[in-house]
Amino acid sequence: MATLKVTDLHVSVTDEEAKTSKEILKGVNLTMNTGETHAIMGPNGTGKSTLSETIMGNPHYQVTQGNIMLDGVSLLGKTVDARARAGLFLAMQYPAEIKGITNMEFMRAAVNATRPADDPISVRAFLKELDKNLEVLNMSDDMAERYLNEGFSGGEKKRNEILQLMMIKPKFAILDEIDSGLDIDALQVVAKGVNQMQSPDFGVLMITHYQRLLNYIHPDQVHVMMGGRIVKTGDATLATELEAKGYAGLRDELGLDV
Ligand code: ADP
Ligand code: MG
Ligand code: MG
């Protein structure tokens, strides 16, 4: 079992033009073990993507206090690559297009980065795995040969993030609004891919606005984030409750002014 632990995390971003720094995360605590599925819900602008980017090591986000640890080892100061090699994966809200590298090349490099340098995956084994996963995700073979995310539709980008996830097999995956812009069929396909990953060696953190996704991927724990903090944690029923009363209702209930 692996454990990802975020303690009292405070994160600021700098506005380059105004030369000011703004605190976005104000003391986030979160512990996840492999074998568990967690969801973070929360209104827009509350710091959900900031949390994912900071866990993954995007240098734009400055940790001013607290820690992020994988199996007791701090990840602070480690590069995005080092964190990926350590077993973290982030499916981004807005995946970037990368010119000149095919999807397949990207995935092979990413898979090999998690293996010893003298033991790269064989082309044959890689292609076999790729074929299998393309089929699970109802993706056509040519998706693998296209340049990464270039000209992909919104839905294709999301599906492709899950394809990468299935190929790379991280210890922990953070899926940032993987459901946004997906129709119900695509959502079901994405959920099927994630559910197929479920194992005692895999933990997933899903970030979403809507309860809908959680009908397909069942969370063990639901966390609500508001104003840069996790203000409430519960089981899957918290998502349903939230859908009924809204973030405003929860804000009133907890007496928050954020
Ligand atoms: P969420 O994902 O919950 O919608 P974000 O983490 O994207 O929220 O944003 C939280 C706050 O941080 C917002 O006020 C946003 O404008 C600000 N923010 C996020 N990223 C940056 C950035 N790179 N530069 C400046 N401000 C940012
Ligand atoms: Mg604090
Ligand atoms: Mg976001």
What are the domain boundaries of the chain? 3-96+170-254
Ligand 1 nearest-atom number relative to CA 228 = 10
Q: Which two tokens stand for residue 127?
A: 């292609």
Rounded Cα gap, residues 200 and 1, in angstroms:
7
Q: Decide: 174 in ligand 1 pocket, CB within 6 A.
A: no
Q: Decide: 50 in ligand 1 pocket, CB within 6 A.
A: yes
- What is the pLDDT, as a whole number, of residue 154? 83
ipTM, 2 decimals?
A: 0.92
Q: Residue 179 pLDDT > 80, yes or no?
A: yes
Protein residue closest via CA to atom 24 of ligand 1: 13
Q: Please, is 208 exposed, middle or buried when counting C-beta atoms within 10 Å of its C-beta (0-12, 13-18, 19+)?
A: buried
Residues 188-212: tens digit of each pLDDT = 999 999 999 999 999 999 999 888 8
Residues 134-165: tens digit of each pLDDT = 999 999 888 888 888 888 888 888 899 999 99
In CATH terms, the superfamily for domain 3-96+170-254 is P-loop containing nucleotide triphosphate hydrolases (3.40.50.300)
CB 2, CB 203: distance < 8 Å? yes
Residues 77-136: tens digit of each pLDDT = 999 989 999 999 998 777 777 778 888 898 999 899 888 889 999 999 999 999 999 999
Reported as type and span, the H/E element at residue 55 is helix 48-56
Q: Decide: 20 in ligand 1 pocket, CB within 6 A.
A: no
- Give me ligand 1 centre to Cα 49, in Å: 7
Protein residue closest via CA to atom 22 of ligand 1: 13
pTM score of the predicted model: 0.93
Q: Decide: 44 in ligand 1 pocket, CB within 6 A.
A: yes
| Alpha-carbon distances of 15 from 7, 12, 25, 47, 62, rounded to whole Å | 25, 10, 15, 16, 12
Q: Decide: 52 in ligand 1 pocket, CB within 6 A.
A: no
Ligand 1 pocket mutation pick from 12, 19, 49, 209 by most atoms within 8 angstroms of CB: 49
- What is the pLDDT, as a whole number, of residue 51? 97
